[in-house]
Amino acid sequence: MEYLQTYAPYALFILNFLLALKLFARTDELEKLKSELMKYSMEHFVTKDIYADNHRALQEQISQMRQDVSDVKNLIISDISNRRQNI
């Protein structure tokens, strides 16, 4: 009993301190945080499927651009070689 009277104020102080720091979360606070995180993630991130589709489309566009640049390069080379032969 003597220990209880001696250390009870310290225990209450520590408990109040931990409660003030909000180390213990309540269910309604967790639900609110979960909904905020879900909303944030839906606004700022895309799903893996959408990312994969967009990545595939981008790769196809880059491949087409490479082919177009190669075609232009070949046309320029052939034009230059034709001009040199005509000189």
Q: Are residues 22 and 51 part of one domain?
A: no
pLDDT number for residue 12: 92
Q: Are residues 67 and 35 part of one domain?
A: no
**What domain range includes position 10?**
1-43
Counting Cβ atoms within 10 Å, is residue 27 exposed (0-12), middle (13-18) or buried (19+)? Answer: exposed
Q: Are residues 31 and 4 part of one domain?
A: yes
Q: Are residues 53 and 29 part of one domain?
A: no
Q: Torsions phi, psi of 23, nearest 5? A: -75, -20
Q: Are residues 50 and 81 part of one domain?
A: yes
Q: Are residues 65 and 34 part of one domain?
A: no
Q: Are residues 65 and 77 part of one domain?
A: yes
Q: Are residues 65 and 31 part of one domain?
A: no
pLDDT number for residue 79: 92
pLDDT number for residue 80: 92
Mean pLDDT of 3-15: 88
pLDDT digits (tens, 9 = 90+) for 28-80: 888 999 999 999 999 999 999 999 999 999 999 999 999 999 999 999 999 99
